[in-house]
Amino acid sequence: MMSDMGQVFGHWNVYLVIFLMMLGFYTLIARGNMVKKMVGLNVFQTSVFILYISMGKIDNSTAPILTDNPLAIYANPLPHVLILTAIVVGVATTALGYALIIRIYENFGTIEDHELVDFMEDEENTL
Amino acid sequence: MHDDPVVRIVAKVLIPSIMLFAFYVQFHGDFGPGGGFQAGVIFASAFILHAIIFGLNRTRHVWAFRPNLAVLCVGVLLYGGTGILGMLGGGNFLNYNVLGDTPQAGQHLGILLVELGVGMSVAASMVMLFFAFAGRATHNRFLSSKERNDE
Amino acid sequence: MIGDLLINVGAVSLLAIFAFWILRTRYLVGVVVVSGAFSLTAAALFVVLDAVDVAFTEAAVGAGIATVLGLATLTFVPHFEKPHRFKGAALGISWFPALLAVATGLLLTLAVSDLPRFGSADAPIHNHVAPHYINESPNEIGIPNIVTAILASYRGYDTLGEVIVIFTAALAVLVLLVGRTRSRRDKQRKGRRQ
């Protein structure tokens, strides 16, 4: 019974991660506002993190910090390391994206995709 | 916001505690959750809080731009340097076994140095990111007033 | 065990609500703040999934710094997203991106059936290098936190690259934002004055 619940809920977890991922993906490609695109990218990114961390979990495991209990089951520490560094790199790239957004706004006076496209088409026509 | 005495005094109590907690996270990272990445971000958040409460100019006075850049570079160099140190001791790049008398002691020293390098460069880069974003606002205000004088 | 699963499913569902909210609202300050809440909830989820270090980092970096930087950005740019209808958009949904997202989601869902059961100890991921890290790191490294041992020692080369990425990003932001920068508007203004 317990393992059946685990089967259903375990995959339910991954299904929800896919749903989250696709929400982030949709926000990224369907919205024209660049700040919103960045936030959508963050949602996408965080759901990938959750997928990785879910894979490292073992039933009844504890955090991978050694204890005196010789029977302790530790969660897999490898995905934790990968994601730990990915989070910090993620914020670095997010900061770079925001900096580019600020410069784009200063140059073109808009951060909407379609207005930028219009602007560039106008410029091509005048040249 | 800087005129509110409650906010100012709470900030004065909080900022040293945040820094102390950052050091705890940094050096306790071997035994519990934590390490250079987290400690660096927490340390940077102390400066960000200071800048939000007291204004960016006063924060720049406390912690100027150039030493921040220096810490950023020294952090990366400390990490790379620890790797080179392992090579000088006869091991591979980033092999800490040769740093101490026993392999374990070497590993302890290597991890300490490397985490310190990570902490320094992450803290400095986060402070620098905030300075860059917040400084842009004050810089532009300066520019626009200057341009107003031109016209 | 069941409690863990309930918290797990509840937190992921909360995340889905936040993500949906981010998608629907046009007020960008709200979007950035809710993305902070999203990160914080993800951090809570990481604690349930036994990744304490990751939770710590996500709470400090994702919910803290990223939100601060997003709000700092919003001091420069407009606070509202302009409504815009893409070609073929109807009922507030852009159909081509929606189709793309749904198709990708379906493909991923098909792949889920190949995944090992959540929490099973005999999944491939637990039988490769992880047992070595867990069993040998007390002798080889001698520090209790295995994550730190892997981060700084076993995969030190990885982390070095990581630090260099952060260094480079900080320098790139410096180049983009600090000091006097020329902009297209300045040039146009100058051109008009002449």
CA distance A41 to chain C (A): 11
CA distance A37 to chain B (A): 19
Chain B residues in contact with A88 (beta carbon < 8 A): 37, 41, 122
Give the Cβ contact number of residue C116 at 10 Å: 14
- The tokens describing B24, both together, are 């705890």
- DSSP string computed for chain B: -TT-HHHHHHHHHHHHHHHHHHHHHHHTTTTSS--HHHHHHHHHHHHHHHHHHH-HHHHHHHS-HHHHHHHHHHHHHHHHHHHHHHHHTTS-TT-GGGGSSSHHHHHHHHHHHHHHHHHHHHHHHHHHHHHHHHHHHHHHHHHHHHHHHH-
Q: DSSP class of residue C117?
A: P
pLDDT value, residue B20:
95
CA angle C132, C134, C136 (to 5 degrees): 55
pLDDT over 80 at C188, yes or no: no
pLDDT in tens, C12-42: 889 999 999 998 898 999 999 999 999 999 9
**What band does C192 get if pLDDT is binned at 50, 70 and 90?**
low
CA angle B119, B120, B125 (to 5 degrees): 100
- B147 part of contact set with chain A, CB < 8 Å: no
- From the list C75, C163, C178, the residue facing B132 with the nearest CB is C178
Sign of CA dihedral A121, A38, A86, C157: positive
Q: Calculate mean pLDDT across residues B4-21.
A: 92
| CATH 1.10.287.3510 for domain A2-126 | yes
Q: Decide if C148 and B35 are in contact by the 8 Å CB cutoff.
A: yes
Q: What is the mean pLDDT of chain B?
A: 86
User: Residue A74, SS3?
Assistant: strand
Q: Calculate mean pLDDT across residues B110-124.
A: 94
Domain ranges of chain A: 2-126
Comparing C187 with B46, the larger pLDDT belongs to B46
pLDDT over 80 at C183, yes or no: no
Chain A residues in contact with B122 (beta carbon < 8 A): 88
User: Residue C70, SS3?
Assistant: helix
Q: Which of A102-116, B94-108, B115-129, C80-94 has the lowest mean pLDDT?
A: C80-94
Please tell me which residue of chain A has the smallest CA distance to B121.
A88
- Give percent of chain C with pLDDT exceeding 90: 39
Please tell me which residue of chain C has the smallest CA distance to B78.
C160
- Give percent of chain C with pLDDT exceeding 70: 88
Comparing C178 with B18, the larger pLDDT belongs to B18
With b for 16 or more beta-carbon neighbours within 10 A and e for fewer, the A48-84 pattern comes to bbbbbbbbbbbbebebbbbeeeeeeebbbbbbbbbbb
pLDDT in tens, B50-103: 998 888 888 888 888 889 999 999 999 999 999 999 899 888 888 888 888 888
Q: Which residue has the tokens 């109590």?
A: B13
Interface confidence, given as ipTM, is 0.87
Q: Calculate mean pLDDT across residues C112-138.
A: 84
Chain C residues in contact with B34 (beta carbon < 8 A): 53, 56, 145, 148
pLDDT value, residue B118:
94
- From the list B32, B114, B133, the residue facing C69 with the nearest CB is B133
C-beta separation of B124 from B43 below 8 A: no
Chain B residues in contact with A63 (beta carbon < 8 A): 33
